[in-house]
């Protein structure tokens, strides 16, 4: 089983880059299942119904979210779509699903979305406790468990990796938009990477216009962010999962 996880799509530019590059990756890597983080697809904040449909049109299996889940009110029109999941540790009773189970090649794949609490301005429940509760609930129902941990702090992500080692097939970080070079198989068999990066304008500050970003830091004034223009890049990982053990055999970074 080959699973592709694509880093945060930045605006329409990121969606177009997915359209352009996904068919090639799917063919070359023999991809069976595709997960995409879409919480920045609406020009950097949230997701619209059009964004959602455009991403699904690329035969994507799951769209995960993050701290900008509610950035566009459009989301309430399709929040219950089975291919969309939002952080599972939002407060109890919040609309949408924090995880879902999918069928692929006679395997049941659970995808869980979590959000960090360190340096993220979102009032959420403890992701460690929520993750443990979900896994305990579903572990006998599924073959493969994949976790998208949308978090700022590297320490929080690394700790979560070790916390879930041996309990899930893979855990990867999103949110910081910078791909890290620490992909590994942890001691108990879980594939891990701190951040898979972003898909969007390459010549940018994490997808945003360079001069607007510099002005914010230089002057401390609330300069409006805007998506950068120009050539784009796609960041992702490929998980090679053993069909017998359901353990990750390999985790490979993609940066195109």
Q: What are the DSSP E strand ranges found in 167-219? A: 170-174, 184-185, 191-193, 198-201
Catalytic residues: 68
Task: Give residue for tokens 């510099």.
Answer: 214
Give me the percent of the chain exceeding a pLDDT of 90. Answer: 94
Instruction: Please tell me the predicted confidence (pLDDT) of residue 250.
Output: 98
CATH fold of 2-201+231-255 reads Purple Acid Phosphatase; chain A, domain 2 (3.60.21)
pLDDT (mean) for 137-149: 97
Of 256, 196, 170, the closest CA to residue 36 belongs to 196
CA–CA gap between residue 112 and residue 85 (Å, rounded):
8
pTM score over 0.85: yes
pLDDT in tens, 76-104: 999 999 999 999 999 999 999 999 999 99
Q: Is residue 225 very low, low, confident or very high in pLDDT (cuts 50, 70, 90)?
A: confident
DSSP symbol at 227: B
pLDDT (mean) for 191-206: 96
pLDDT (mean) for 174-197: 98
For the chain, the average pLDDT equals 96
DSSP symbol at 130: H
Residues composing the chain: 256
CA–CA gap between residue 57 and residue 88 (Å, rounded):
25
CA–CA gap between residue 248 and residue 172 (Å, rounded):
13
DSSP symbol at 221: S
- The neighbouring-strand residues paired with 102 are 109
Of 66, 52, 30, 50, the closest CA to residue 175 belongs to 66
Instruction: Please tell me the predicted confidence (pLDDT) of residue 222.
Output: 81
Instruction: Please tell me the predicted confidence (pLDDT) of residue 150.
Output: 98
pLDDT (mean) for 188-203: 97
- For 49, the token pair is 């119904």
pLDDT (mean) for 228-242: 97
Contact present, 222 and 254 (Cβ < 8 Å): no
CA–CA gap between residue 5 and residue 141 (Å, rounded):
22
Q: Structural domain boundaries of the chain? A: 2-201+231-255
- For 178, the token pair is 């910078």
Higher pLDDT, 44 or 39: 39
pLDDT in tens, 204-224: 999 999 999 999 899 988 877
Contact present, 147 and 172 (Cβ < 8 Å): yes
Determine if residue 165 is left, alpha or beta; phi over 0 gives left, psi from -120 to 50 gives alpha, anything else beta: beta
pLDDT over 90 at 118, yes or no: yes
Instruction: Please tell me the predicted confidence (pLDDT) of residue 121.
Output: 87
């Amino acid at each position: 089983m080959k699973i592709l996880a694509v880093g945060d799509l930045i605006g329409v530019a990121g969606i177009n880059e997915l359209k352009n590059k996904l068919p090639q990756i799917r063919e070359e890597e023999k991809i069976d299942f595709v997960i995409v983080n879409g919480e920045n697809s609406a020009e950097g904040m949230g997701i619209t119904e059009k964004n959602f449909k455009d991403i699904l049109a690329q035969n994507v299996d799951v769209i995960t979210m993050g701290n900008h889940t509610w950035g566009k009110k459009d989301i309430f029109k399709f929040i219950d779509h089975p291919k969309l999941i939002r952080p599972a540790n939002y407060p109890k009773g919040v609309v949408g699903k924090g995880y879902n189970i999918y069928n692929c090649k006679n395997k049941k794949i659970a995808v869980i979305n979590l959000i960090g609490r360190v340096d993220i301005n979102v009032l959420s429940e403890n992701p460690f406790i929520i993750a443990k509760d979900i896994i305990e609930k579903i572990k006998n129902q599924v073959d493969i468990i994949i976790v998208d941990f949308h978090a700022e702090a590297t320490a929080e992500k690394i700790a979560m990796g070790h916390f879930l080692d041996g309990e899930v097939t893979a855990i990867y970080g999103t949110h910081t938009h910078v791909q890290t070079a620490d992909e590994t198989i942890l001691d108990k068999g879980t594939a891990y990477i701190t951040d898979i990066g972003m898909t969007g304008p390459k010549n940018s500050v994490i997808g945003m216009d360079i001069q607007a970003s510099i002005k914010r830091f230089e002057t401390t004034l609330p300069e409006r962010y805007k998506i950068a223009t120009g050539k784009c890049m796609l960041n992702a990982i490929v998980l090679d999962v053993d069909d017998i053990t359901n353990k990750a055999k390999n985790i490979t970074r993609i940066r195109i």
